[in-house]
Amino acid sequence: MPLHPQAIAYLAMEAKLDLPDITSNLEQARAYSHGDSDLAGTVDSSVRIEHRYVTSPTADLPINIFTPPGKGPFNALVYFHGGGWVAFDINRYSAQLADIAKQSNSVVIAVNYQKAPEHKFPIPFDDCYSALEWTIAHAAELGVDLTKIGVGGDSAGGNLASGVAIKARDEGRISLAYQLLIYPANSPEFLASRDVPCAEGYGSTQKGIKWAWEQYLNGDEDLHNPYAVPHSATSFAQLPPTILITAEFDVLRLDGLDYARKLKDAGVQVIHKDFEGMIHGFFNYGKFIDDAFVARDFISTNIVKILS
């Protein structure tokens, strides 16, 4: 399928804005990212949003808690946002996560983990794992069913969710009900080739995401750590049921497709949808791209399906 007309229009609009290059001016790019608070669309006012903090090994982390209407018990999703491990924040995700909270009857906990390069691996990862532990410890207070907790994220957040799921399996103390991976960045190897599809001209670029990996990892020693690079895991068996989204015109598409294959080969239930005509980040662009809402519906429907 060709690039979707709404994706074309969004990319044209973005080009006219002359956005700062994150690889050369991270501070400016971070500041700009706070500007368009309604990029994802309107926030459902029936979902209660509470701002709190959780404590990780190295910081107090802001979290947003989205609670759907009703008395519970609720499902739960601990969500890690995208932004190349270096930028963005949980307030960009209010519309998306409010919709998922309501449609899947889930309390959603969005985690503002610390950012690279100031805080390299494992700090953002540890933050995310700590937030999962906090959610479990506070399940009764949140009205959450302990048997129905999942983790999820988009792009770099998909990487963090993948790593958290692997650690939960390895340690055996936490049994996740599912993982939600939206165009995850799970290994830099998929960006190494000169002929990577959709390397330029579709929003996120090969150059930009390679740079983001360099900010997050400490060096080659991290390439074989599955909590940093989930594709490097020696086994994918016994990971939780997985909802995985890829986008046709995304430099990370092959990464996501191969991760889905590895999970399936290991006997993991995988519900995968490749969004034709879509670009990296489309999940966050509900103000301009209708498939952002299709993705929310797909995610919510399949969370309910897995947990039923």
**CA angle (88, 127, 229) in 5-degree steps:** 80
Residue 83's domain spans which residues? 5-307
pLDDT of residue 158: 99
**Span 3-49, pLDDT tens digits:** 999 999 999 999 998 888 889 999 998 998 887 778 999 999 999 99
- Non-local CB neighbours of 131 within 8 Å, separated by 6+ positions: 54, 56, 61, 63, 78, 109, 111, 113
**Which percentage of the chain shows pLDDT scores above 90?**
94
**Position 281 confidence tier, pLDDT thresholds 50, 70, 90:** very high
pLDDT of residue 18: 83
Residue 282: pLDDT over 80: yes
Query: Among 47-51, 117-121, 178-182, 193-197, which is the least confidently predicted range?
Result: 193-197
Question: The domain spanning residue 284 has which CATH number?
Answer: 3.40.50.1820
- Average pLDDT value over all residues in the chain: 97
- Range 146-166 average pLDDT: 99
- For residues 20 and 52, give the distance between their C-alpha atoms in angstroms, rounded to a whole number: 31
CB 92, CB 62: distance < 8 Å: no
Give the pairing of strands 242-249 and 144-154: unpaired
**Position 241 confidence tier, pLDDT thresholds 50, 70, 90:** very high
pLDDT of residue 223: 98
pLDDT of residue 19: 81
Residues in the chain: 308
* Structural domain total, the chain: 1
pLDDT of residue 153: 98
Who wins on pLDDT, 17 or 304?
304
**Span 105-153, pLDDT tens digits:** 999 999 999 999 999 999 999 999 999 999 999 999 999 999 999 999 9
How many helices and strands in the chain, by DSSP H and E? 9, 8
What are the residue ranges of helices labelled H in the chain? 5-17, 26-32, 94-104, 123-137, 139-142, 156-171, 206-216, 253-265, 291-307
